[in-house]
Amino acid sequence: MSTFRFGTVAIAGRPNTGKSSLLNHLVGKKLAIVSPKAQTTRRSLNGILTTADCQYVFADLPGYQTRHVNVLNRVLNRQATNGARDCDVAVLVVEALRFAAADREVLARIPRDRKIVVAVNKIDLVRNRLELLPFIERLQKERRFEAIVPVSARTGRNLVELLRVVGALLPEGPAAYPAHQLTDRDERFFAAELLREKLFQLLGEELPYRCEVALESFHEKGRLRRIEATIWVERDSQKAIVIGARGALLKRISSAARKDMERLFGGKVYLGVWVKVKRDWSGDAGLLRQLGFG
Q: Which residues bind ligand GTP (CB under 6 A)?
A: 13, 15-21, 34-36, 38-41, 62-63, 121-122, 124-125, 152-154
- By CB under 5 A, residue 20 contacts Mg ion: yes
Q: Which does 122 bind (CB under 5 to 8 A by kind): ligand GTP, Mg ion, none?
A: ligand GTP
Nearest residue (CB) to Mg ion, 41 versus 282: 41
In terms of CB distance, is 73 or 250 closer to ligand GTP? Answer: 73
Q: How far is the CB of 140 from ligand GTP (least distance, A)?
A: 22
- How far, in Å, CA of 164 to CA of 141, rounded? 24
Contacted by 16, from Mg ion, ligand GTP, none: CB < 5 to 8 Å by type: ligand GTP
The radius of gyration of the chain from alpha carbons, rounded to an integer in Å, stands at 20
| Least spacing, CB of residue 126 vs ligand GTP, in Å | 10
Nearer to ligand GTP, 21 or 79 (CB): 21
Task: Give the number of other Cβ atoms within 10 Å of residue 102's Cβ.
Answer: 20
Torsion, CA 152, CA 157, CA 159, CA 161, rounded to 10: -130
**C-alpha to C-alpha distance for 254 and 245, rounded to whole angstroms:** 15
CA distance 288 to 181: 30
Task: Tell me the closest approach of the beta carbon of residue 33 to ligand GTP, in angstroms.
Answer: 7
**Interacting partner of 30 out of Mg ion, ligand GTP, none (Cβ under 5 to 8 A depending on kind):** none
Q: Between 65 and 243, whose beta carbon lies closer to Mg ion? A: 65
- In the complex, the smallest distance separating the C-beta of residue 157 from ligand GTP, rounded to whole angstroms, is 8
Q: How many residues does the chain have?
A: 294
Exposure string of 170-194, with b = 16+ CB inside 10 Å and e = fewer, is beeeeeeeeeeeebebebebbbbbb
SS3 17: coil
Cβ closer to ligand GTP: 34 or 48? 34
Minimal distance in Å, beta carbon 33 to Mg ion?
A: 7
CB of 32 to ligand GTP, least distance (A): 7
For residues 103 and 95, what is the distance between their CA atoms, to the nearest angstrom?
A: 9
Cα gap 47→31, rounded to integer Å: 7
Counting contacts by CB under 5 A, is residue 41 touching Mg ion? yes
Q: How far is the CB of 32 from Mg ion (least distance, A)?
A: 6
Q: Which is nearer to ligand GTP, 21 or 282 (CB)?
A: 21
Q: Helix or strand or coil: residue 226? A: strand
What residue is closest to ligand GTP based on CB?
A: 63
Amino acid at 172: E
What gap in Å lies between CA 264 and CA 218, rounded to an integer? Answer: 15
> How many residues in the shown chain lie near Mg ion by CB under 5 A?
4
Going by C-alpha positions, the residue among 207, 226, 201 that lies closest to residue 275 is 207
Please give the residue ranges that form the binding site for Mg ion (CB under 5 A).
19-20, 40-41
